[in-house]
Structure 1
Amino acid sequence: MQFNEIAVEEVYRRDEKLKKEDVQALMEWMGKQPHLPKATELQVASFLHSCYYSNEAAKNSIDAYFTVKSLCPDIFSSRTINDNILRATVDTQLFVVLPELTPAGDAVILSRKIDPDPRNFHMIGQLKLMDIVPLLHSYQYGPAKGFQLIIDMELTSLGHLLRINPSYVKKFAYYLQEGMPIRLKQIHFINLVPFMDKVFSFIKPVMKKELIDLFLVHTKMESLYEHIPQKLLPEEYGENVRNLIKNSENYLKFQESQLIDESKRQGSSKYQEDLFGAEGSFKKLDID
């Protein structure tokens, strides 16, 4: 089944707070920024929605989104099922949007390992899925009121932790916080492992407090069900991610082509320092 975008007029119809004239104003602003690529009306509407209808916040998000993508091609390029790392990741990592929304209207993403062997864990591939899956869902079905991410730690070992590169965590966390056009509401950790403290010691130093505050650690499934009803977690988890990526390759290639031209930027850019300025400190993180 080929990927098809939702009609932007349908997005406006569903969300009365999302105004076409505000989106058009943002598109006109983008047209005056020579370093930015062209974007579709649906993309721009998604930015405005994710920023709770603030045009100024959306401008910052748009600039961050396209700049980070351009500065980090290792994460945001080669998003095809023919890419060895991405193909291996979809075979070893489940990362899907569940079929039903929460009572509050949030979409639920489930991430869990299928293969326990750390040698088959590819962090870059996992980060690619964390970008591809929610954005394709947004462009196919319209922006969700929010996203709830469930990270199932079952089958995770210290071997996986040793394969995490904190510099990539930093880059993607920055993208998630500043640029990605979704509303991330909460990040739930379930089926905890004994070394959760080491997991957090790896990831928290490179994240802003606002993102860390979204973490909810569940020692029992009952506490998860207070946020996400148990009936939303079926045994089968929807569309095969391999097929989703394969059917969306033309759209993903279009997204890859949307890069900035830094030589045309008017004024200075903060993103180079924000993304790469503190990488030396990552070497201090280790596991005892």
Structure 2
Amino acid sequence: MYFQTRPTHHSIEIQYLFYLSRILFEKSKMMQLKEINVDEIYKRDKLLKKEEVVNVMKWVEFQSHLPNLSELCTALFLHSCYYNNELAKTTIDIHHTVKTLCPDIFGNRSPRDPQVKLTIDSFFCSPLPQLTDDGTLVILAKVLDVNPGNFIFPVILKCFDMITLFHMHQNGPPNGVIIVFDMEGITFSHFLRVSVVVMKKFLYYLQEGMPIRLKGLHFCNVVSFIDKLIAMMKPFLKEEILRVLGLHIGMDTVYELISKNIFPQDYGGSAESIEILHEKVKARINDNEEFFKYQESQVVDESKRPGKPMNVSDIFGMEGTFKRLEVD
């Protein structure tokens, strides 16, 4: 699936220069986002080798169904896969395939889209400024507007992806990522708006296709029906993720794992308040529409995939099995 015979009528050097020129042309269509210089990532992480990143980029060149990838984007994938080239190639393919086949979650990333705008306004999701002692990034999420009518589950997941990938392009890859979801204000009416099909798709992407090292998934201020939510998620979680899944009645047990100091002032930490962090996230999203437009264009052309084209059922099975959730 991942290898084709390389042409021999041109030198690799000429082909690679042509490939880089195509990438530069694609990037010129983006707004000049202040991306981190990829050389800074190499300086930070001595285990990430430029030559290995280039090797993966060359592989992508010969996958006619995949879009072009920048050196920075490729470095994010290789880092997330702990420098394993073959795993990075698989992750790159899964990442772009899932995003192409699941437009309900990953399509239409414009900040001006009414549902995206509503979600960005009513849902807080922000990487916290201070890393943990081992260099792990904490992403805190929380519903701000508790009206269930404004809780659009696929769009919330879309915004999480937009915010996280934007942060990676600006700051480079952290050693790992811990997601903390504060359930304060969540009601059973919110839960009824959670789709099992969407949950399955996103958890697959989160574990297999997102260029992050997921090191923890924590729910704090848990609600009485948390068991139903976990029962929905559990079939789609890998064993290693189940081991780092945490449920917390309040915040005290969270602080045993993550320094309280990292959290916003609202939680007794030293980071800026949720209100300020939220405004900064909204500004970054609204000011970088071209970046998200470019990300949306990074899709797979299934008609050019070697072998049989992929469809949703090839990855997720028959969706009808998950159309309805029985709630006791």
- 1:148/1:3 Cα in 2 relative to 1: closer, same or farther (>3 Å)? same
Amino acid at match of 1:105: G
**What is the percentage of aligned positions where both structures have the same residue?**
45
2:143 is the alignment partner of 1:113: yes
Amino acid at match of 2:190: H
2:221 is the alignment partner of 1:191: yes
Amino acid at match of 2:143: K
Number of residue-to-residue matches in the alignment: 288
Q: Which residue of 2 aligns with 1:92?
A: 122
Q: CA deviation at 1:144?
A: 0.6
Q: CA deviation at 1:214?
A: 2.7
Distance 2:291 2:36 in 1: 13
Determine helix, strand or coil for the equivalent of 1:244. helix
Q: Which residue of 2 aligns with 1:224?
A: 254
Q: CA deviation at 1:79?
A: 1.1
Distance 1:76 1:283 in 2: 20
Root mean square deviation of aligned Cα? 1.7
Determine helix, strand or coil for the equivalent of 2:142. strand
The equivalences for 1:263-278 within 5 A come to 263-268=303-308, 272-278=312-318
User: In 2, are the aligned partners of 1:68 and 1:271 still within 8 Å (CA)?
Assistant: no
The equivalences for 1:174-189 within 5 A come to 174-189=204-219
Q: Which residue of 2 aligns with 1:7?
A: 37
Higher RCO, Cα 8 Å, sep 6+: 1
User: In 1, are the aligned partners of 2:313 and 2:319 still within 8 Å (CA)?
Assistant: no
User: In 2, are the aligned partners of 1:135 and 1:182 still within 8 Å (CA)?
Assistant: no
1:249 paired residue among 286, 289, 299: 289
Q: Which residue of 1 aligns with 2:11?
A: none
Q: TM-score, normalised by structure 2?
A: 0.84
User: Which structure has the larger Rg?
Assistant: 2
Distance 2:96 2:49 in 1: 23
User: In 1, are the aligned partners of 2:177 and 2:214 still within 8 Å (CA)?
Assistant: yes
Q: CA deviation at 1:14?
A: 0.8
User: In 2, are the aligned partners of 1:156 and 1:193 still within 8 Å (CA)?
Assistant: yes
- 1:174/1:59 Cα in 2 relative to 1: closer, same or farther (>3 Å)? same
- Unmatched tracts of structure 1, length 5 or more: none
Distance 1:216 1:271 in 2: 33
2:48 is the alignment partner of 1:18: yes
Distance 1:100 1:274 in 2: 40
User: In 1, are the aligned partners of 2:122 and 2:150 still within 8 Å (CA)?
Assistant: yes
Deviates more, 1:19-28 or 1:121-130: 121-130
Q: TM-score, normalised by structure 1?
A: 0.95
